Amino acid sequence: MAQDDVPQENRPQDAVPSQAATGDELALRRRVSDLEREEVADVLREAAGEGRLSYGELEERLETLYGSKTYGDLVELTADLPNGPRAPGVPSVSPQYSGAMVETGPVINVFMSETKRMGNWLVPQRQEVNAVLGDVTLDYTEANIPYDDIQVDVKSILADVKIRVPANAIVLLDSNPILGSVSEQEAGLKAVPDPNAQPTAPKRFHIRGTAILGEIKIKRGPRLSKRLGLT
């Protein structure tokens, strides 16, 4: 009997055509951990705080997120957002303002959640922050700051807002605490000097802070791990 006449199920295993999954496909099928789900949850909350998602969309995506099983599920949830996980071979979306200088950034609205701007992000000249029962961190120490003067208007209601500026920054603080606290703190430990760093002119930060039963802290210099040279 010819090979072609043998029924499919009776053929030798190596004669059955098959396609091995590619590395990209295997990456998308990989099971995700609780920690990875929480990292994506932070991305979704941050997007809602920026106005990219409505709170209804946020709740819907969070519900889907906590039921997700694979890396591909996470990619699908954040495909239209910056900072989320990407499919293999797909470049990340440029965070914040798509690489263009922007005078006024999107208002950061935080309600019972947390938002952070850290690392190499593009700073707008004017930034408004409204935080209610949440936490906000604006870290300018590693950011791309194209302006000499930066204006930050913060309203904290039962919230904790931390603003970290470069060590040589000039801070002009206009505070209005109402049963709250607005304070500027000096770095307790100097950073490990970078021999390759070029000296830069100090930036001027005009910060107007209103704290109602909340707290606004302005800190100088990089985070502790950076100062110790750990990262």
pLDDT at 79 over 70: yes
How far is residue 85's CA from residue 76's CA, in Å, rounded to a whole number? 9
Do residues 138 and 127 make contact, with C-beta atoms less than 8 angstroms apart? yes
Full-model pTM? 0.54
The whole-number average pLDDT for the span 163-190 is 86
Q: Is pLDDT of 161 > 80?
A: yes
pLDDT in the model for residue 172? 94
In which band, very low, low, confident or very high, does the pLDDT at 95 lie, cut at 50, 70 and 90? very low
Query: Distance between CA 183 and CA 65 in Å, rounded?
Result: 38
Average pLDDT, the chain: 79
Q: What percent of the chain has pLDDT over 70?
A: 72
What token pair was written down for 11? Answer: 């053929």
Q: Taking residues 165-187, report their average pLDDT.
A: 89
